[in-house]
Structure formats: C-alpha cells, structure tokens
Amino acid sequence: MIEGITKSFLILIFQLGIQMPYCIAQPVHQVKWYFKSGPVTGPEATLIFKAEILPGWHLYSQFMEEGGPFPTQFSFESIGAYTRVGKVEETGEAVKFYDDNLMMGIIWYSGAVTFSQKIKLNQGAVIVRGKVEFMACNEQMCLPVDERQFNLEVAPWKKIP
C-alpha cells in the first residue's frame, strides 16, 4: 500500500516537474514601444515613437493637467550634437472627456498613438538617447509608471559625387 502511494507521489512530482516550466507566467507589456529615426530633410530629422496598446488598456496624453493621471513624458539627453525643434507632438485617436471624480479633462489613447520630435542636426550623424515614461490603465486599475529607453542613430543622406 505504501509502495503504491510512494509510486503515485513520485509520478505526480515527475509530471509537475515536466509541466512547471510551462506554468511560469511571462510578464505582459500592455504597451509596446517602437522607436525609429524618420526622414532627414536638410539639417532636420524627425524621431518617431510609436506605442501599441493592448485592447482594454489606455495610455495618457502628454497634455494632462497637474493633479491628474501621470502623463506620458519624454526626456532627451542633451549632448550638443542636435537641438530639439519644438515639442514632442502626438497623433492618434484621442479620447477626451471630463472626469467628475478628478474634476478635470482627461485625454488618453487606446490601440495606438505615435509621438514625433523634430531635431536639428548640429553635426553629421548623431545618436539621440533618452527615455519615455508612461502609465497604462484599464477600467479597473493603473499599473505603476513604467519607462523605456531609446537610442536612435540619425544620419543625413550622403551625396554621391
């Protein structure tokens, strides 16, 4: 009898050992970021930051009133090789509404949003480093503020003689 219980227990442990690696959850990122350098026109270039947001989740605009949800924020390392031209712009289908609990206007994006920043090159090729900080929320909760680093090489077209 004890031999049968021991054998069953060992079989159970063996099966759990085989199946356990498949049970460990991988982190799910509600927002996936894509960074690239856009076209270079003369001394100017455009940096593109695209956020793809999982269904049921949203990402807040950069343009939020103080005291509200954490806005998406971009920061750039300043090395003198480039100058930012204007502010980071955002394009996408924004949801705008007045939140009675917070007593303020709220702007968020679901699905996808693209941010862009124009820069002026002060020399030939440059590397633009920085980070984006953001908060993803759904109808039940908000995740802690997260960040992604970016490292973009921007090089003007070379003229062929």
pTM of the model: 0.79
Q: In what order do the strands lie in the sheet with 73-76?
A: 73-76, 126-134, 146-154
| Tokens 């908000």, located at residue | 142
Domains located in the chain, CATH noted: 31-154 (2.60.40.1250)
Question: What letter represents residue 131's amino acid?
Answer: K
pLDDT digits over 113-133, tens only?
A: 999 999 999 988 899 999 999
User: Three-class SS of residue 110?
Assistant: coil
- Using alpha carbons, list the distances in angstroms from residue 8 to 5, 14, 23: 5, 10, 22
Tell me what pLDDT residue 41 has.
85
